[in-house]
Structure 1
Amino acid sequence: MEYRIKDISLADKGKKKIEWAEANMPVLLSLKNKFKESKPLKDLVVGGCLHVTKETAVLTKTLAAAGATIAWSGCNPLSTSDDIAASLVKDEELSVFASRGVSTSEYYEDIYSVLKFNPDITIDDGADLTIEFHKTFDKYGKNIIGGTEETTTGVLRLKALEKTSKLSYPIVAVNDAETKHDFDNVYGTGQSALDGIIRATNVLIAGKSVVVAGYGHVGKGIASRARGLGASVIVTEIDPINALKARMDGFIVATMDEAALIGDLFITSTGCKDVIVGSHIEKMKNGVILANAGHFNVEISIEEINGMAKSSKHVNENVEQFVLKNDAKVNVIGEGRLVNLVAAEGHPSEVMDMSFANQFLSVINLVNNKGKFENKIYEIDRDQDLLIAGLKLEAMGIKIDKLSEVQNKYLSEYGEGT
């Protein structure tokens, strides 16, 4: 076992958090119990690059119970829970290379520490591990079977790689599963992003003008939760269909130039860079709060804010206040990184239960069908989505109707009309 973590003495604290998560992730626990005897991942290395949270810990424990050797790094410099990393090393004897607050060079050193294990399977969140793997594929890629990708940004990056015909192994787009993006992205980010903002600032959301940049699954969840807390919500978009959906859902739709004049709190959720730049900042109110819920810290141009500021200070652990040359103050949460993980604990365990069940079953599928996949990006099979949804409903004690033979026949034939 190899590892690089901050402080192994934090393990007891982390273990308690992991136990709490396990109690709220019944689908993943059922899969762990199902596969712990047969161990379909025996003698295989799973190299992961995901946020090191209590929920991720439950996934790594499930993979290990199925026989896998684990090598893991964080996928964002500020998203690792050091106590969770400590518990995984001390209590589970897993190889973890992650700590909160790493530099860019340290971040990539941790990724390469994972690659040195020559993974059979990669599990990624944002595609940094997968992209670095491709750069050194001749060195570390001798065992690779396939990989998975957890988030929208990562899927977009890998689709761009696929278009160049340079994708070197099959990838399952876990993010695109209905039981992932319709729940994790919408309800998970919707709640946890607001949770992070409130923990970092303790501001009252009610009565605020909240600007949500992007109305995909993530933005939809954030806008809904902000409205539920009493905010007036303005949505900015570049996609006409998403903009129309936002308007039909009852939100104001405007350009960022227009929204910059009226917003009190801005939350970016686009997966693109330069969503908020200097020309927007100079129009904003004194005391405005900026937060990002996208995977990378490129949506808010911190570089331009620095260039416009005459001074800055940290008003607390997760909020940096910039004083602009016109004396207006701009408050940025978590360096413009993922607000729900920098300033809070990420998504609730209940919703990550489904996302990580998809991760686990996708790994099993890749292993069971080794050699049958081409070097392409694959969507989750609908049967897997339905299985996970059914297990989740069962765990919640919810029963649903089933089609009768007559109904099945009616839906499968074309003869019966008016």
Structure 2
Amino acid sequence: MDGNSDRTAEMISWVDRDMPVMRVLRARFGSERPLAGYRLSANVHLLASTVPLLLALRDAGADLAVCGSNPMSTDSGVARWLGDHGMTVFAPGADDLADEHERLLAVLDHHPHFLLDEADGLLGLLHAEREKLVPTILGASVHTLTGVRRLHHFADQGHLRFPVLGVDGSPIKQIFDNEMGTAQSALDAITRLVNPLYCGLCVVVAGFGACGRGIAKALAHRGADVIVTEVDPVRALWAMTSGFRVMSADEAAAVGELFITATGSINVFTGSHFSRMKDGVTLANAGHGNVEIDVATLVDTASDARTVLPLVTEYRDGSGHRRFLLAEGYPVNTAASAGHPPGLMDISFAAQALGIEYLVKNASRLSRTVHPLPEEVEQRVAGAKLAALEVSIDRQGPEQLQYDEHLSFAPR
């Protein structure tokens, strides 16, 4: 083993120590082999913290092919390590394919029975370029809200031909992964790259869903002056009554110093906003893909561009105003930090793994639409995490159960 391989193995061992639920689940999967005989194609962030999930699926008996969901979050050492441990891996450092598109197609050409998709990278390409494989797909699991929303629209149009499990949208994903995890990893990444003084800094957070909500609260704890932009009136009101200033993006563009997108949508900040921004602002994305910030317009309107720090690009406009873009507009929390804390991903990945097991057992009787993560799966994951943390909780007694199950005024 060379030095790089040793470091990768140590890193994987380090994250595993904070993932006790995945260790228990992996042991059961190895014994029961619930995925034996099935091919599974996965499109995930290839970080050390993702390895326990992939090992659990492998140990469950799945014939597993994996590709990286984001070039900025693909650790080539991890990709090689997975390839050395019984998985077919398509990622830089593990193959000689030219680009991400080819790798996505290659993982589909594994002829999977089930798909595990970060958003809809595999599912979109399946229907666009590998539609002949659709009849053999028994089910899919989608991890992010962007993917879940798109699959809901797809299902509403009557195009979905197999059941999809929408992991995002479930409380156990939104609370721990989205709100807590994104807050920690996004601010960790921004701190590593540009090390701003958050206290007193005017930060604009676009979106007050679970991810944006966590980021806004974490910034407030650090003393930042947080402004929230939103398109949903309920979430905008929630932000305001949580103590944040709420503005339109146009208004916020003129006063912000650090801008963080967390919407899962496209072109949240565009040329009209860039033209209003102060000199020296920083732009970061903590949402989906690299489309929330209109990078193309930023590039096209720049009179000069240069890399000033690793993963920090300065774009100077015609009037000399500078915009500092982090991680080329890709999600900064996976591109420039270690990702979400393994202790939180222990919860999220256990939900994904149990969700795949649920799909395998129930796909034949599930309707062709997007299904929420079953409540019993959430309860099992939360109970297992509490047990690992040696935390005890109460149980309802017979009197309480009876009270909950009956109307206050029964008919005579």
Q: TM-score range by the shorter chain?
A: over 0.9
Tell me if the contact between 2:163 and 2:363 (Cα under 8 Å) persists in the aligned partners.
Answer: no
Equivalence for 1:213: 206
Q: What SS does the corresponding residue of 2:282 show, helix, strand or coil?
A: strand
Picking from 26, 30, 40, the partner of 1:36 is 30
Tell me if the contact between 2:35 and 2:360 (Cα under 8 Å) persists in the aligned partners.
Answer: yes
1:337 aligns with 2:330: yes
Picking from 117, 142, 147, the partner of 1:124 is 117
Larger CA deviation: 184-193 vs 132-141: 132-141
Tell me if the contact between 2:39 and 2:62 (Cα under 8 Å) persists in the aligned partners.
Answer: yes
Tell me if the contact between 1:192 and 1:344 (Cα under 8 Å) persists in the aligned partners.
Answer: yes
- Unpaired segments ≥5 residues, structure 1: 1-7
Tell me if the contact between 2:312 and 2:326 (Cα under 8 Å) persists in the aligned partners.
Answer: yes
- Which residue identity does 1:291 align to in structure 2? A
1:266-302 CA-to-partner distances (Å, cap 9, x unmatched) read 0001111111011111111111000001111111111
Tell me if the contact between 1:41 and 1:68 (Cα under 8 Å) persists in the aligned partners.
Answer: yes
Distance 1:367 1:181 in 2: 24
1:152 shift after superposition: 0.6
Equivalence for 1:5: none
Picking from 64, 70, 74, the partner of 1:76 is 70
Distance 1:105 1:331 in 2: 29
Tell me if the contact between 1:118 and 1:141 (Cα under 8 Å) persists in the aligned partners.
Answer: no
Tell me if the contact between 1:310 and 1:325 (Cα under 8 Å) persists in the aligned partners.
Answer: yes
- Which residue identity does 1:154 align to in structure 2? G
- Which residue identity does 2:186 align to in structure 1? A
- Which residue identity does 2:32 align to in structure 1? S
Picking from 249, 252, 257, the partner of 1:256 is 249
Equivalence for 1:27: 21
* 1:133-282 paired onto structure 2 within 5 Å: 133-282=126-275
Tell me if the contact between 1:193 and 1:340 (Cα under 8 Å) persists in the aligned partners.
Answer: yes
Distance 1:237 1:334 in 2: 24
1:309 shift after superposition: 1.1
Picking from 64, 74, 81, the partner of 2:58 is 64
Q: What SS does the corresponding residue of 1:406 show, helix, strand or coil?
A: helix
Distance 2:127 2:328 in 1: 29
Tell me if the contact between 1:17 and 1:84 (Cα under 8 Å) persists in the aligned partners.
Answer: no
1:193 shift after superposition: 0.6
- Which residue identity does 1:78 align to in structure 2? M
- Which residue identity does 1:279 align to in structure 2? S
Q: What SS does the corresponding residue of 1:369 show, helix, strand or coil?
A: helix
1:211 shift after superposition: 0.4
The number of residues matched between the two structures is 409
Distance 2:166 2:147 in 1: 9
Distance 2:179 2:100 in 1: 28
1:393 shift after superposition: 1.1
Tell me if the contact between 1:10 and 1:87 (Cα under 8 Å) persists in the aligned partners.
Answer: no
Distance 1:168 1:199 in 2: 44
Q: What SS does the corresponding residue of 2:325 show, helix, strand or coil?
A: strand
1:49 aligns with 2:46: no
- Which residue identity does 1:49 align to in structure 2? N
Percent of residue pairs identical: 36
1:194-246 CA-to-partner distances (Å, cap 9, x unmatched) read 11111111222122101000000010000011111111100001111000000
1:142 shift after superposition: 5.0
Equivalence for 2:296: 303
Equivalence for 1:4: none
Distance 1:285 1:399 in 2: 52
1:361 aligns with 2:354: yes
1:291-346 CA-to-partner distances (Å, cap 9, x unmatched) read 00111111111111122211010011210001111111110001111010111121
Picking from 315, 321, 324, the partner of 1:328 is 321
Q: What SS does the corresponding residue of 1:37 show, helix, strand or coil?
A: helix
Larger CA deviation: 56-65 vs 35-44: 35-44
1:168 shift after superposition: 2.2
1:45-97 CA-to-partner distances (Å, cap 9, x unmatched) read 1100011111211100001111111100011121111121121112x131111
Distance 1:242 1:393 in 2: 30
1:138 shift after superposition: 4.5
Picking from 369, 385, 396, the partner of 1:392 is 385
1:261 shift after superposition: 1.3
| TM-score, length-scaled by structure 1 | 0.94
| CA shift in 2, pair 1:415/1:274, >3 Å | closer
1:103 shift after superposition: 13
Equivalence for 1:371: 364
RMSD (Å), alpha carbons: 1.9
Distance 2:34 2:394 in 1: 34
Distance 1:240 1:19 in 2: 45
Q: What SS does the corresponding residue of 2:71 show, helix, strand or coil?
A: coil
Distance 1:415 1:237 in 2: 41
Distance 1:142 1:57 in 2: 30
Equivalence for 2:5: 11
Distance 1:181 1:139 in 2: 34
Distance 2:253 2:348 in 1: 34
- Which residue identity does 2:396 align to in structure 1? L
Tell me if the contact between 1:26 and 1:395 (Cα under 8 Å) persists in the aligned partners.
Answer: yes
| CA shift in 2, pair 1:255/1:393, >3 Å | same
Tell me if the contact between 1:14 and 1:86 (Cα under 8 Å) persists in the aligned partners.
Answer: no
Tell me if the contact between 2:19 and 2:343 (Cα under 8 Å) persists in the aligned partners.
Answer: yes
| CA shift in 2, pair 1:105/1:158, >3 Å | farther
- Which residue identity does 2:404 align to in structure 1? L
Distance 1:298 1:94 in 2: 31
